[in-house]
Amino acid sequence: MSSPVKIRRWEFSGDLSESLPNALPQAISLETVNFHETSLELFDDYNRSIVSKGFALIKENGKFQLVSASDLSSIPLEGKGCRKQKAVFWWDFEQNEFQISLKNLLKLRAASPLATTTQQAQRYNLRNKDGKVIMRLLSESWLVSDLEIQSTLTAESLIGYDAEAKSITKRISSLDDFDSPSKTLAWKILEAVGSAQIPLSPKQAIQLNSEQSVHDAVSEITRTMIDISRATEAGIIEDTDTEFLHDYRVAVRKLRSVLKLIKGAFLNEDTKRLKDIFGDFARKTNRLRDLDVYLLNEQTYRSQIPDALKPGLNKMFSDFQKERSLQLRSIRRHLKSKTYQSSIEAQRNWLESAASSEGARAKLPIKQVCSKEIFKHFKLIPKTGVSINDSTPDEEVHELRIECKRLRYLLELFSSLYAPSGIKFVSKKLKRLQETLGNFNDYSVQQEFLFEYIESQKNLDNKTAAAVGGLIAVLNQSKKEARSLVTERFSEFNDRKTALVFKELFSKKGGN
């Protein structure tokens, strides 16, 4: 028997048993074959990364599949080896095409169950006057808590009966009750349970206008960063994935950066209070984030040292895991505490009514002030980087990294004020330099972290000491390699075209 091929899918309303026979020629009979009902869970991460890319991660009868978001059945890939009931990561599955695809979609995020839906499927055969099956139909109804979300009919043709299938498909399409699906099934299910909203990125959430005052613009950015950080708190407390803490720290860092880089929005004492409070919030999470980074990269670190040394890392990573548990408990208490809750809420409320706190540049147009700051920090990068060579002290390289980060934050937070094409060009140029500087810094920090671990251990066994020492040596070599690329990446950034675009966008003679 030939395999059916899906040729058309409709969304329909009304009673299929009444409308469908009207679409069939008299010589064609409709045969009810079998009915099937099943329940499945729909998984996705905090950012809805899977459904946004047109896929859906479903769990049915204990098995995971990656399918099309449009119908929850097409192009299926099966995941194997995972027995988790709740949040899952790509590395929880055996290596196959499913795992590779899920890794590209989720990266470091966890997919959690967001909705449960029931599928009711009824199959039909269409037979000609000779009794031969010329076409098959699949009717599906999808329910959430007994509420029907969508009903669809899928036509499947059989080899040798293409003409008949085309004719019947055309007749069905002409009926008023049948139309092309207006939205993917996965989105409809998420909407039904109130989980369809995608959290906005800072770039999406912050939409400024050129004449907005410095005071109003900085207030808006600061409020937005508080809202973004607060939205991550539940994920940190539940320990869903480490990206919640990362996002929290980035939001707090951007909040403090805008206060530091766009001075004069508020009175000095208010600016200092905000920076100090949120600086304290960020510092409380430093150790947990450091441990997360090491534990996330455990397999990478193990792969970088000889096989004979790898068992020596067991104790270190065991120690890191135990300390992480302690740090997580501490952060949970902190985020749940009345002190934290009242403090962050008080700052958010203050920003809603901060009109009386006006600094020296509070009433100036934000684009005028922001352009000046961006162009100033852009010009500082060549001044800092032009003298860097192989013998330059690490501290000067770190200063270049910090200056690049300041410029990146300004470009990200105020991108809505400028032409997207220009922002995209300069951001891409800056990113390449910043990634190299970031790698250099990461290797430096990681080495220091491991040195501190060795110094903190009493009576460290030789096996562990040798393994950690070997890893430090590898990180030192990686640091040297990143360091050797700094001059090259700086030259790529510090070219005439980049300078002209920055001048056009941000200088008084250019964009202003």
Q: According to the model, what pLDDT value does residue 97 have?
A: 97
Q: Are 189 and 142 in contact (CB under 8 A)?
A: yes
Residue 6: pLDDT band with limits 50, 70, 90: low
Average pLDDT over residues 231-248: 97
Burial of 77 (0-12, 13-18, 19+ CB in 10 A): middle
CA distance 422 to 5: 47
pLDDT tens digits for range 34-58: 999 999 999 999 999 999 999 999 9
Q: According to the model, what pLDDT value does residue 1 have?
A: 47
Does pLDDT of 85 surpass 90? no
CA distance 503 to 70: 46
Q: Are 351 and 197 in contact (CB under 8 A)?
A: no
Burial of 256 (0-12, 13-18, 19+ CB in 10 A): buried
Structure tokens that stand for 445 in this block = 């920090």
Q: How many CA atoms lie within 13 A of 41 on its CB side?
A: 16
Query: Would you list the domain boundaries of the chain?
Result: 5-192, 199-360, 365-512
Please report where in the chains the tokens 């548990």 appear, as a residue.
325
Q: According to the model, what pLDDT value does residue 511 have?
A: 52
Query: For the domain 199-360, what is the CATH superfamily, name and number?
Result: CHAD domain (1.40.20.10)
* Side-by-side strand order, sheet with 178-179: 77-79, 63-68, 55-60, 29-44, 112-127, 133-144, 147-157, 5-12, 178-179
- Chain-wide mean pLDDT for the chain? 93
Classify 133 as helix, strand or coil. Answer: strand
Q: How far is CA 38 from the centre of its chain?
A: 31
CA distance 8 to 180: 9
* Other Cβ atoms within 10 Å of 499 Cβ, number: 14
pLDDT tens digits for range 284-317: 999 999 999 999 999 999 999 999 999 999 999 9
Q: Are 126 and 28 in contact (CB under 8 A)?
A: yes
Task: Give, for 400, the enclosing helix (H) or strand (E).
Answer: helix 394-413
Structure tokens that stand for 474 in this block = 């590898």
Which residue from 90, 61, 56, 98 is spatially nearest to 73, judged by alpha carbons? Answer: 56
pLDDT tens digits for range 171-200: 888 888 888 887 899 999 999 999 999 998
Q: Do the domains at 199-360 and 365-512 have one common CATH topology?
A: yes
Give the highest mean pLDDT range of 48-62, 180-194, 198-212, 380-394.
48-62
Residue 107: pLDDT band with limits 50, 70, 90: very high
For the chain, the residue count is 512
Does pLDDT of 7 surpass 70? yes
Q: According to the model, what pLDDT value does residue 274 have?
A: 97
Structure tokens that stand for 154 in this block = 């899928």
Class of domain 5-192: mainly beta
CA distance 44 to 312: 37
Q: What residue spans of 88-159 are helical by DSSP H? A: 97-106
Burial 175-198 (b: 16+ CB within 10 A, else e): eebbeeeeebbbbbbbebeeebee
Per DSSP, 2 falls in state P
Does pLDDT of 2 surpass 60? no
Q: What residue spans of 268-313 are helical by DSSP H? A: 268-284, 286-296, 298-303
* Nearest-5° Cα angle at 378, 373 to 383: 120
CA distance 57 to 44: 7
Classify 242 as helix, strand or coil. Answer: coil
The amino acid occupying position 478 is S
Q: Say which CATH architecture domain 365-512 belongs to.
A: Alpha solenoid (1.40)
Residue 212: pLDDT band with limits 50, 70, 90: very high
